[in-house]
Amino acid sequence: MGGVAGQLYFDNYSPVGDITVIATCFVILILIFTSYVNKTRSFYLYLNIVAYLMLAAFSDVIYHHIYSGITDGKYTAVYVIRCLYHGFLFSNLLLYVVYIVELQHLEREKKIPTMIISSGIYISIILTDIITTVSGTGFRLNKDGTAITGYNIFLYGYLAFVAVIIFLMVAYRDRVYKYVMYGFYGTMIVAFLILFLQGKHGQSSFTVVSFMFPTIGMLYLVHSTPYDIELGAINVAALKDMVEYNYRRKVELLFFSLYIPEYDSEGAVLPKTLQDSIRKFSTEYFHNAVLFQVSNAHIILIAKKKTNPDYENKINRILNYLSGEYDKYGFDYKVVMGECFDEISKNNEFVSFIKSIHRNMEANEIHMVGYEDVEQFERYEKILSEIADIYKGKNLRDPRVLAYCQPVYNIKTGKYDTAEALMRLKIPGIGLIFPDQFIPLAEENGYIHVLTEIILQKTCDEIRYLLKEGYEVNRISVNVAVSELKEESFTQDIHKIICESGIPEEKVAIEITESQTESDFIIMKNKIEELKEKGIKFYLDDFGTGYSNMERIMELPFDIIKFDRSLVLASGSDLRSEKMVESMASMFSGLDYSVLYEGVENEEDEKKCIDMSASYLQGYKYSKPIPIMELKRFFSKVEESV
């Protein structure tokens, strides 16, 4: 470029572009420090990118300002500031490369060549810029102030970095979610257009501006963790980052977890008054606290212990508030609180830890965590790991799943010819585990159906053995979770196991609890009817506990209604309760349902249940749960019954 063109380079410059960049960078920093941002390595790279962008804009303003003020022809300061300006811009480009490599999690063998090439370009450009400036073959100023651009190292360096960036974004595009990549592509295209139009019109005011657009894109696409405007909470994904960040820095954290089961369903929304109050937890009660929303109705507050030395008083204020809200609105809640344990923070299992405590809590209970909770959680995690392995293996005779059963007394025949199959787990290092400890874990994590298939297979194996040995077997029932019915292959899975076992379908029954939602009810009805057509019997389990809709029960083709132990107890509490239980049992019996009472523990219970239309009795009076192979001690052989 000649002297006239070079002079236009200065004459067409306006600081408005660089001032806009500086202002925008300050706005970005304000947004970062007034919101929650994941403290990842890429975030710190991003901060450096913003810093170098500001330095580039400052140096560009100073560079042109110094030039315009020189009258003695001594331009050394201009050359120095110009080289710094280019250094900041190319540092920015190098950081873009490092940033993209970090986001894409490139393997070492791909990362190292990329960084060697990029660092080589960076060093070559900086050295060439300095050498050509000093030697006079590059940018230079005549004594009269006329600028001669000479060898344009900036253009070639910029294109070299752009080539590397485009290569990374195209070659490894599958490493990042496609819409995030589209965002990067869009901001890069805008940057290129700005530089192209600037060059076409002989401008130099918007060079740094062009670098700003990808920076804004990074903030929005990668680092934004927006608050819920009404609740003031952040998505739970940011919780893991906060725990990890503070664990690395040995910062002690406090937490307060509030769970309101009533609102923890799809589409449920916390009442506005409750949202307003929860928002105050972090803004009024604690210093520098952050709220995280785990689900619709599960909120976790995290605060630093150091900045909240009086945290016990603050927690008491929250608890007093919750007590008042409960009195006012009657919603049930579960509160878990305390200090974060290193054992939990280390593996970032914070949400799982709290949920494991919820399982054993009653409504409106407040629990202060202790080391015993950590030990219990580690036990749960071990159990869950084993269940996951059982699920993965899908071995229908997995030795870790034990088949137990409880014999059922048939009043009509006066014999034990039916039983309920029960499940146990035997885990190395833990021992025998009962259903209440592993069934909820299996259901929560989608492993329950495989466990049901295993216990069904082992039950069918035992039925086949008993029949072969000449024992009289009416049926053995297996429990099924309502959630399993949503499995598309549920009917086929159940029927296949029974058929391949070579036993009559009527020798197996399915026990299931009543559904509480309309969608579950429709699914349940269809699945029951499909299997009933194949000869499989169905029990309604736990009748009398929780929710019971008589109209729905009548619509479902159950064979046996199991009255829960609570009804047996209720019938002995007063005459009115006894009449109610007796009336329900009589009604079911009159409609050709068989009534089975469970939880029969003594002769008094037995007599009472027989008087209340019982067909079958089950409970500790007859037998505790036993290994299924011991069932032959109770069942009679066919020839013995003749």
pLDDT in tens, 372-389: 999 889 888 899 999 999
Res. 119: pLDDT tops 50 = yes
Band of the pLDDT at 8, cuts 50, 70, 90? very low
- Residue, of 487 and 8, whose pLDDT is higher: 487
Report the pLDDT averaged over residues 237-251. 85
- For residue 12, CA distances in Å to 4, 88, 206, 279 come to 12, 22, 11, 52
Res. 243: pLDDT tops 90 = no
On the CB side of 57, how many CA atoms lie within 13 Å of its CA? Answer: 23
Report the pLDDT averaged over residues 219-229. 70
**Mean pLDDT lowest for which of 149-153, 161-165, 494-498, 527-531?**
149-153
Res. 642: pLDDT tops 50 = no
Res. 546: pLDDT tops 60 = no
Main-chain phi, psi angles of 635, to 5 degrees: -75, 150
Band of the pLDDT at 633, cuts 50, 70, 90? very high
Contact in structure between 100 and 168 (CB atoms under 8 Å): yes
- Residue, of 224 and 96, whose pLDDT is higher: 96
Beta bridge pairs of residue 618: 598
Beta bridge pairs of residue 518: none
pLDDT at residue 349, rounded to an integer: 85
Tokens for 610, please give them.
Answer: 């027989």
For all residues of the chain together, what is the average pLDDT? 85
Res. 9: pLDDT tops 60 = no
- For residue 268, CA distances in Å to 130, 257, 260, 264, 281 come to 64, 19, 11, 7, 21
pLDDT at residue 2, rounded to an integer: 41
pLDDT at residue 236, rounded to an integer: 76
pLDDT at residue 198, rounded to an integer: 83
Report the pLDDT averaged over residues 259-288. 76
Percent of the chain with pLDDT over 90: 35
Q: Exposed e or buried b for every residue in 286-318, given b needs 16+ CB within 10 A?
A: beebbbbbbbebbbbbbbbeeebeebeebbeeb
pLDDT at residue 539, rounded to an integer: 93
What residues have CB less than 8 Å from 493, skipping those under 6 apart?
A: 449, 453, 487
pLDDT at residue 641, rounded to an integer: 47
pLDDT in tens, 290-304: 888 888 788 888 888
Report the pLDDT averaged over residues 589-607. 91
- Residue, of 604 and 271, whose pLDDT is higher: 604
- Residue, of 543 and 326, whose pLDDT is higher: 543
Res. 396: pLDDT tops 90 = yes
Report the pLDDT averaged over residues 38-47. 83
Plot region of 332 (φ>0 → left; ψ -120 to 50 → alpha; else → beta): beta
**Mean pLDDT lowest for which of 173-182, 240-249, 291-300, 477-486?**
173-182
Evaluated on CA atoms 107, 112, 117, 119, the torsion sign reads positive
Q: Exposed e or buried b for every residue in 542-566, given b needs 16+ CB within 10 A?
A: bbbeeeeeeebeeebebbbbbbbbe
Band of the pLDDT at 7, cuts 50, 70, 90? very low
pTM exceeds cut of 0.95? no
pLDDT at residue 552, rounded to an integer: 74
The domains of the chain, with CATH numbers, are 3-223 (1.20.1070.10), 233-369 (3.30.70.270), 381-641 (3.20.20.450)
On the CB side of 66, how many CA atoms lie within 13 Å of its CA? Answer: 17
What residues have CB less than 8 Å from 639, skipping those under 6 apart?
A: 470
pLDDT in tens, 461-479: 999 999 999 999 999 999 9
